[in-house]
Amino acid sequence: MDVIRVKDYKELSEQAAKFVLERVKKNPKMILGLATGGTPEGMYEQLVTDHRTAGTSYKQVTTFNLDEYAGLPRKDRNSYYSYMREQLFDHIDIPNDQVHLPNGEAEDWQEECLQYEQAIAEAGQVDVQVLGIGGNGHIGFNEPGTSFDSTTHIVTLDESTRKANARYFSNLDEVPTHALTMGIQTIMRAKEIVLLASGESKADAMARLLQGEADESFPASALLSHPNVTVIADEEALKKV
Ligand code: GLP
C-alpha cells in the first residue's frame, strides 16, 4: 500500500486528479470505478477544469459507480446519480450509455444487484477504482461486518453513516435506510485502487487501516491484501498514524 501524504484538501484533490488523468491518457478506453461523498468533489472539479482547458477526452471511458441509495429517485438531488451528473458527467464528453450506477429505483433490489455485478464482469476488469472511506472504515456502503467475499448487495446503512450523510438532506429522517453497493470482493477485483482521505474525521479510520491488520469489522482493511493500492491522504487524516 503506497501512501502519498499531502498537505491539505486542495493538494489531495490535485494529486487525485493527476492520478486519474495519467491513467486515462495512457488508456483512453479504461474502465473507471468512481466514488461519491464529499472527498472526491475537489478531484472532480479538477477533472472538469482539465477537460475544459486541456481537453482530456472520456469518449471511450466506461465508468461504474460504487453505490447508490435505495428507494431514492434518480432525479432527487441527493441521489448519487444526480451527484455524478452535477459533479462530473454533465461537464465532460462521456457518452450516457457508458456511465453506470446501481439503480436505486429498481423494483427488485436483489435483481438489480445481480445485474450490476454482471454488468461489471461483462465490461471486464475495472482498471482504477477510486474510493473514499467512512469514519467507521466503510468502503462504498460496505459497513463493518460485511464479508470480504461480498459482491454487489443491498445494505442497511449504519446509524453513524446516515448521520454523517444527513448534512446533505433537510433532516435525518430523509436519509435513506438502505443502499445498493458493490461488494468488497467486487471492489477488490479492480486492477488498481486509489483511496482518498481528508480531514480529522478520518484520522481514526486511517490509523486503523495503516496499522495493517485485516478484519471484517473494518471493511477498508480488505485493501491490505490488494497488490496495487495507493492512499492519498492529507495531514489531518494522517495525524494519528
Ligand atoms: C459515503 C459513501 C462512500 C464514501 C464515504 C465517505 O457514505 N457511500 O462511498 O466514500 O461515505 O464520505 P465522505 O467523502 O463524504 O466523507
CATH number at residue 67: 3.40.50.1360
**What is the predicted pLDDT for the residue at 227?**
98
Residue 221, ligand 1, Cβ within 6 A: no
Total structural domains within the chain: 1
Establish if 239 belongs to a structural domain: no
Given ligand 1 and candidates 65, 130, 138, which is best to mutate, with the most ligand atoms within 8 Å of its CB? 138
Compute the distance between CA of residue 163 and CA of residue 135 in angstroms, rounded to an integer.
11
Q: What is the pLDDT of residues 173-217, one digit of tens each?
A: 999 999 999 999 999 999 999 999 999 999 999 999 999 999 999
**What is the predicted pLDDT for the residue at 237?**
98
One DSSP character per residue, 86-114 reads: HHTGGGS---GGGEE---TT-S-HHHHHH
Predicted ipTM > 0.90: yes
Domain region containing 18:
2-234
> For this structure, is 107 an active site residue?
no
Residue 39, ligand 1, Cβ within 6 A: yes
Question: For residue 119, how far is its CA from the centre of ligand 1 (angstroms)?
Answer: 23
Contact 120, 64 (CB under 8 A): yes
As a whole number, the mean pLDDT across the chain is 97
Question: For residue 20, how far is its CA from the centre of ligand 1 (angstroms)?
Answer: 19
HSE (CB half, 13 Å, CA atoms) of 217? 2
Who contacts 118 (Cβ-Cβ below 8 Å, separation ≥6)? none
Q: What angle do the packed helices 9-26 and 41-53 form, to 10 degrees?
A: 50
**What is the predicted pLDDT for the residue at 1?**
94
Q: What is the pLDDT of residues 59-92, one digit of tens each?
A: 999 999 999 999 999 999 999 999 999 999 999 9
Q: In what order do the strands lie in the sheet with 62-65?
A: 2-6, 229-234, 192-197, 128-131, 31-34, 62-65, 99-100
Establish if 214 belongs to a structural domain: yes
Establish if 206 belongs to a structural domain: yes
Percent of the chain with pLDDT over 70: 100
Residue matched to cell numbers 475495472: 126
> For this structure, is 67 an active site residue?
yes
Maximum CA extent, the chain = 45
Establish if 155 belongs to a structural domain: yes
Residue matched to cell numbers 472526491: 40
Question: For residue 196, how far is its CA from the centre of ligand 1 (angstroms)?
Answer: 10
Given ligand 1 and candidates 13, 36, 152, 209, which is best to mutate, with the most ligand atoms within 8 Å of its CB? 36
Question: For residue 140, how far is its CA from the centre of ligand 1 (angstroms)?
Answer: 7
Residue matched to cell numbers 502519498: 4
Establish if 240 belongs to a structural domain: no
